[in-house]
């Protein structure tokens, strides 16, 4: 049983800010909310986090390049995700403010927890993850994103997490991210993507896409 602290971060725009959840094994040991990436990074360091998993793109799409490999591979497994644009294309569009916020948290953690780009050592890194993909991995099948609060809370319960301590869907998603961090630390994970476009890390699963989404318990 690992006693290391794993942290998941849900990323929102300026109004919503960041929601972070820290777990040790299956116990929620702390939650934190702030609009400041620097404050969230400091909170992660104060908790002694071994791995931090963030629900936001870690790299922009390269100029003249197709969609990131991670997003294409997710789609091949039946999991839809937002397509990350180039940084230039994202600027000036309100929708992408959360992606810029995500880039800020990766930068804020870069010194202590550099971005995972295939390193062999599964400690002291920051990962990109995606709660919908984590939910599918935990369920072992493609799950519907509808009524995701109830479905994802059920999956957390199945994983041994006391979801009643989570006040909203942002904290639920942050807890799912923390489970992705834990699976990475335990070397039981799948990484979609490549070094050029970045990896999206989820718990290991069979990755068999289903034509009909199932409702998570």
User: What are the tens digits of pLDDT across the range 40-51?
Assistant: 999 999 999 999
* 147 band by pLDDT with thresholds 50, 70 and 90: confident
CATH number of this structure's domain 5-203: 3.30.420.10
The pLDDT value recorded for residue 208 is 56
Render pLDDT for 64-78 as a digit per residue (tens, 0 to 9): 988 999 999 999 999
- At 176 the pLDDT is 98
pLDDT of residue 136: 96
Q: What are the structural domain ranges in the chain?
A: 5-203
Pairwise CA distance, residues 89 & 149, whole Å: 32
Closest CA to 155 of 126, 190, 180: 180
Mean of the per-residue pLDDT values of the chain: 92
Per the CB < 8 A criterion, the answer to whether 53 and 177 are in contact is yes
pLDDT at residue number 2:
61
> Exposure pattern of 21-30 as b/e (b: 16+ CB <10 Å)?
bbbbeeebee
Q: What is the pLDDT of residues 98-109, one digit of tens each?
A: 999 999 999 999
pLDDT digits (tens, 9 = 90+) for 185-204: 999 999 999 999 999 999 99
Interacting residues of 67 by C-beta distance below 8 A, sequence separation 6+:
61, 83, 84
């Amino acid at each position: 049983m690992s006693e290391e602290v794993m942290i998941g971060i849900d990323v929102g725009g300026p109004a919503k800010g960041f929601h972070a959840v820290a777990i040790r094994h299956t116990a929620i040991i702390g939650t934190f909310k702030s609009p400041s990436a620097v404050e969230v990074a400091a909170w992660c360091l104060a908790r002694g986090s071994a791995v931090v998993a963030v629900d936001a793109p870690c790299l922009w799409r390269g100029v003249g390049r197709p969609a990131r490999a991670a997003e294409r591979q997710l789609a091949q497994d039946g999991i839809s995700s937002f397509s990350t644009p180039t940084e230039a294309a994202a600027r000036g569009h309100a929708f992408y403010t959360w992606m810029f916020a995500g880039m800020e948290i990766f930068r804020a953690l870069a010194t202590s927890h550099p971005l995972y780009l295939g390193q062999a050592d599964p400690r002291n890194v920051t990962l990109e993850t995606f709660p919908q993909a984590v939910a599918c991995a935990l369920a072992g099948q493609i799950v519907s994103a509808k009524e995701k609060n109830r479905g994802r809370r059920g999956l957390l319960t199945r994983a041994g997490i006391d979801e009643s301590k989570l006040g909203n869907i942002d904290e639920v998603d942050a807890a799912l991210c923390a489970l992705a961090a834990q699976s990475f630390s335990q070397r039981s994970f799948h990484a979609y993507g490549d070094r050029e476009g970045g990896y999206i890390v989820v718990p290991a699963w069979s990755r068999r896409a289903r034509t009909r989404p199932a409702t998570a318990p």
